[in-house]
Amino acid sequence: MSFKSTVQRRLANRVKDALRDVSLQLALLNHQVGARLKLRDVDFDCLNLLNQHGPLGPGALAKLAGLHPATMTGVLDRLEKAGWATRDRDREDRRAVVVRAAPERGREIFELYAGMNGSMDDICADYTVEQLEIIEEFLRRTAAAGHDSTVKLTD
Amino acid sequence: MSFKSTVQRRLANRVKDALRDVSLQLALLNHQVGARLKLRDVDFDCLNLLNQHGPLGPGALAKLAGLHPATMTGVLDRLEKAGWATRDRDREDRRAVVVRAAPERGREIFELYAGMNGSMDDICADYTVEQLEIIEEFLRRTAAAGHDSTVKLTD
DNA sequence: GTCAGTTAATATGGAAACCATATCATCTCC
DNA sequence: GGAGATGATATGGTTTCCATATTAACTGAC
């Protein structure tokens, strides 16, 4: 890592501090949104993973979420029972099922995030196109770094 | 909200997408770090809140974390027993206790995040001072927006 | 100064969740 | 064809959650 100046190093530390705060605040927001939907944190996290990655098998979802397969069975039982997800037979492997988030329920989640989404639109409106491109690139690289770090921890 | 162009609106959506991915990846990383420390998600989240906010009473910590006071008692029991936090008498209110994260254990957490921290330093080194200032400001405003949204959801 | 009302933290116990292990059906490869 | 592996779930013991109650302490009105 090659910082060009002490100012830049200090700024990097401030960026990392701000990132930690973002992570914390969004985790707390997610917890409240989940509570409003009467979902346990672990259930809501798994639902978010399904919304992000698309349909997955319970084993793959468990691995992604860092959960035991038996735990995932319980989580999916609750999500299915509450109408947030469905389990369907896999067409190619009769052992397997495919789990999908219920698309018609997405609006309920969307509505609870409306405040945050509106605030983000307002914030983004203050930046130029060039600035937003820089910000997006930074966030993409940060997400990739987070993913890589997680993979390294589970090896 | 007043976007100056369609390009800017589209970019805002990409920024929001990227932010969701960052939130998800950091949540998964936190889960794995917590697992390495043999801490339940809820325990690790509370420890992180103590590290971020400094000493707090159990009631204030429960409110911040969106947890029931009785749940917090159990969380603090586990954190105390495992040596991650201490409960001390409040000097001014004999009913109250003050919970502190154990400073000597901070290094263990720090070491598990070393990969991510190093990656963030590398990423930041690619940006100019001006760009890092923009990024930091954006993250600060995003954290504030997240906090405000959470407060609105709990009213 | 007294006392009713409120607050802070914890105790209790029933319900819910977690997960190590086992089970069964299915798939793969030799 | 069959041994070994895999995917998902069942089981049951343990752990966690939390509604409610309890106790000690604080506050403010009278």
Helices (H), B4-128: 6-36, 41-53, 58-65, 69-81, 106-112, 114-125
- Residue ranges of domains in chain B: 1-36, 39-103, 113-155
- Select from B2, B12, B116 the Cβ nearest to the Cβ of A146: B116
Give me the percent of chain A exceeding a pLDDT of 90. 94
pLDDT beyond 90 at B154: no
A28 touches B66 (CB < 8 A): yes
**pLDDT per residue as tens digits for the range B12-58:** 999 999 999 999 999 999 999 999 999 999 999 999 999 999 999 99
CB contacts, 8 Å: A29 with chain B = 146, 149-150, 153
Cross-chain residue pair B124–A35, CB shorter than 8 Å: no
Question: According to the model, what pLDDT value does residue B1 have?
Answer: 61
- Select from A36, A116, A144 the Cβ nearest to the Cβ of B146: A116
**pLDDT per residue as tens digits for the range A117-130:** 999 999 999 999 99
B54 sits in the region (left: phi over 0; alpha: psi -120 to 50; else beta) called left
Give the H or E element holding residue A86: strand A85-89
Distance from residue B93 (CA) to nucleotide C4 (C1'), in Å? 20
Q: CA B63, A36, B16 angle in degrees (round to 5)? A: 95
Place of tokens 């909200």: B1
Higher pLDDT, B74 or A8: B74
B41 touches B31 (CB < 8 A): yes
> Which CATH architecture best describes the domain B39-103?
Orthogonal Bundle (1.10)
Question: According to the model, what pLDDT value does residue A4 have?
Answer: 72
Distance from residue B95 (CA) to nucleotide C5 (C1'), in Å? 16
- Select from A26, A138, A149 the Cβ nearest to the Cβ of B23: A26
Q: Please give the CATH topology (third level) of the domain spanning A39-102.
A: Arc Repressor Mutant, subunit A (1.10.10)
**How many CB pairs below 8 A link A and B?**
234
SS3 B62: helix
Read off the pLDDT of each residue in B111-122 and give the average, rounded to a whole number: 97
Give me the percent of chain B exceeding a pLDDT of 90. 94
pLDDT beyond 70 at A1: no
**pLDDT per residue as tens digits for the range A124-152:** 999 999 999 999 999 999 999 999 999 99
CB contacts, 8 Å: B115 with chain A = 148-149, 152-153
Distance from residue B55 (CA) to nucleotide D25 (C1'), in Å? 21
Burial A88-105 (b: 16+ CB within 10 A, else e): eeeeeeeeebbbebbeeb
Residue at shortest CA–C1' distance from C12: B70
Residue of A nearest to B68 (CA): A35
> Is any atom of strand C within 7 angstroms of residue B37's beta carbon?
no
> Using 50, 70 and 90 to split pLDDT, how confident is the model at A5?
confident
Mean pLDDT value across chain B: 95
Among A64, A51, A62, which residue's Cα sits nearest to residue A97?
Answer: A62
